[in-house]
Chains A and B, each alone.
Chain A
């Protein structure tokens, strides 16, 4: 059901963005990539919050309710992987747009640099998870890294903003303005990609949950087997 809705919304969003919405005056058709860049960029900043909350929940439940804590950890992995996916798409589409619009692929302006730092932080989070193993120790270390990342991103944002700024002002609630005729494409695509993101995150969560259950059962069986041999 969710999958079908996602597909329909994405199809409508595609039609709006490519065929229906008027062509932008100065940039022409190149500007249409914006309907894919903006949703990814926004969603890439939503999933880190889920990751941070899940990590805090993991640390809270670690000693109190191990099974719930594992659930929080599964959510943390799923959201971290979605963050990397969306931020990667955001960076790539932004770079594709920057070449015709600014004349260079990469400008090192405040927003892109912060975004790159976000990407680096979450990639290093996933690598650290890989290195520390799928056990309680690994999950705890990962949760701690996630908290560090959550604190680091706002500081990077401020420091880099003092450093340099070239990105267009924020489209919503900023100085940059968007004509109302472009709204349908923006909203449909934002909704479609958000549905897609949560769908994939849900699937990843279910997969991780199932893996945890198998692991628990195997551990339980090993304990029972060892008890039988000692009798």
Chain B
């Protein structure tokens, strides 16, 4: 109970910071909108609905991946200003509570972007799910958490290195390959309904397993990287 309380405090602090500036969400939102527009210029989505349905799952996740990379670095740099991070390290609360609060707030930000982006996507790409559309309600949060949990961890890891803006995607993309594969395939399966309806469940299970494994690893190792000097 105590631990949850600490996580909640960190989360509330991050939400309040974001509420006062609204930098991350606005930046992410506009960035992912631009990615969607650029892709629709490149592929002409209304001309061929079948192809559009096949590639739009991938485009959606690429847009979200790039957008979250832009904001994940910021979520830690605002802690470095005025040595807030050093103060956090002296807290008696466990370091993993700080991490969990940060990751949850990032999850909320990216989810907010998804909520705005989804209707736009449907309009721009002329989409409607041929499979079980409600499965997306499971795929989206699981996929977002997979990106955000590792992304928050690697952003913290790269915080004190040179070229930290570059380091995050270099580390995050290779590690996320299995998760990306699962979320893109699950989304495409739901949108096209060309495969056995059991197939998306397979990917969702894989995504859930990935989330559980990497959340555990991040929580265990966060204290090591926070205190690496």
Binding site for B on A (CB under 8 A): 59, 117, 120-121, 124, 127-128, 131-133, 136-138, 140-141, 144-145, 147-149, 151-152, 155-156, 158-160, 162-163
Task: Give per-residue flags for B126-170: 1 if the beta carbon is below 8 A from chain A beta carbons, else 0.
Answer: 000000000000000000000000100000011011111011001
Is B117 interfacial (CB 8 A cutoff)?
no
Residue of B nearest to A153 (CB): B178
Task: Give per-residue flags for B212-229: 1 if the beta carbon is below 8 A from chain A beta carbons, else 0.
Answer: 011001000100110011
Structural contact, B214 and A136, CB atoms closer than 8 A: no
Which residues from chain B contact A159 at a C-beta distance below 8 Å?
Answer: 178, 181-182, 206
Binding site for A on B (CB under 8 A): 150, 157-158, 160-164, 166-167, 170-171, 173-175, 177-178, 181-182, 185, 202, 206, 209-210, 213-214, 217, 221, 224-225, 228-229
Residue of A nearest to B169 (CB): A124
Interface centre among B170, B173, B177, B229 (most CB of A within 10 A): B177
Structural contact, A155 and B178, CB atoms closer than 8 A: yes
Residue of A nearest to B213 (CB): A151
CA distance A131 to B163 in the complex (A): 7
> 12 pairs across A/B with beta carbons < 8 Å?
A121-B175, A127-B167, A127-B170, A128-B170, A137-B228, A144-B224, A148-B175, A155-B209, A155-B213, A159-B181, A160-B181, A162-B206
Structural contact, B163 and A117, CB atoms closer than 8 A: no
- Looking at chain B's contact residues, the main secondary structure is helix
B203 to chain A, nearest CB (A): 8
Which residues from chain A contact B228 at a C-beta distance below 8 Å?
Answer: 136-137, 140-141
CA distance A151 to B171 in the complex (A): 14
Structural contact, B210 and A140, CB atoms closer than 8 A: no
Question: B177, B202, B225: which contacts A140 (Cβ < 8 A)?
Answer: B225
- Looking at chain A's contact residues, the main secondary structure is helix
Structural contact, B177 and A117, CB atoms closer than 8 A: yes
Structural contact, A131 and B177, CB atoms closer than 8 A: no
Structural contact, B171 and A145, CB atoms closer than 8 A: yes
Which residues from chain B contact A140 at a C-beta distance below 8 Å?
Answer: 224-225, 228
Which residues from chain A contact B206 at a C-beta distance below 8 Å?
Answer: 158-159, 162
Which residues from chain A contact B177 at a C-beta distance below 8 Å?
Answer: 117, 120, 152, 156
The 9 closest A-B pairs by CB, nearest first: A140-B228, A120-B174, A159-B178, A132-B161, A131-B161, A137-B228, A155-B178, A156-B178, A121-B174
CA distance A38 to B132 in the complex (A): 44
CA distance A86 to B162 in the complex (A): 28
CA distance A60 to B185 in the complex (A): 39
A157 to chain B, nearest CB (A): 9
Question: A136, A138, A149, A158: which contacts B175 (Cβ < 8 A)?
Answer: A149
With A144-B157, A159-B206 already in contact, 11 other A-B pairs whose C-beta atoms are closer than 8 Å: A117-B177, A120-B173, A120-B174, A124-B170, A127-B167, A133-B162, A137-B160, A138-B161, A144-B221, A152-B177, A163-B181
